[in-house]
Amino acid sequence: MTDPDSGLSLANAPTPVTPTPFGIPWSIWFWGGLLSLTGAAFALAPFQTASLLRTDLHPLAEPWARMFGLMLIAYSLAYHVAGWTGARTYMRASVVLRLCFIRVGRKGL
């Protein structure tokens, strides 16, 4: 047991969120939200999502498209957790990935 006079209490417990140096990591949360929405779209309505992307989806590929959606949702959780906990190393490492995605996305259009 702890001594009640030692000053240890739940009110004095440290918060698990590390403040980020430049304020709220809005780009991390935005990217996580974008991945979550895309994953949910593929998991719930793969045929409609594929048609929005101007791609035909074979009926035998439906389970794979749904699994891809669930994997995107799981991957987006890393961005949500990084935003909440202030994981600056993860945020810095993800900048290159996000910039490469924008570069590849523009070539496809």
- Residue-wise pLDDT for 72-86, tens only, equals 999 999 888 888 887
Domain borders along the chain are 24-108
Kindly report the average pLDDT of the chain as a whole number: 80
Give the pLDDT score at 48: 95
What would the mean pLDDT of 87-98 be, rounded to a whole number? 82
**Among 48-57, 75-84, 89-98, which stretch is predicted with the lowest mean pLDDT?**
89-98
Model confidence at 44: pLDDT above 80: yes
- Give pLDDT tens digits for 10-42: 566 555 555 555 567 788 888 899 999 999 999
The number of angstroms, rounded, from the C-alpha of 45 to the middle of its chain's C-alpha atoms is 20
Residue in 34, 38, 47, 46 with CA at minimum distance from that of residue 83: 34
Helices 26-44 and 88-108: crossing angle, nearest 10°? 60
Model confidence at 109: pLDDT above 50: no
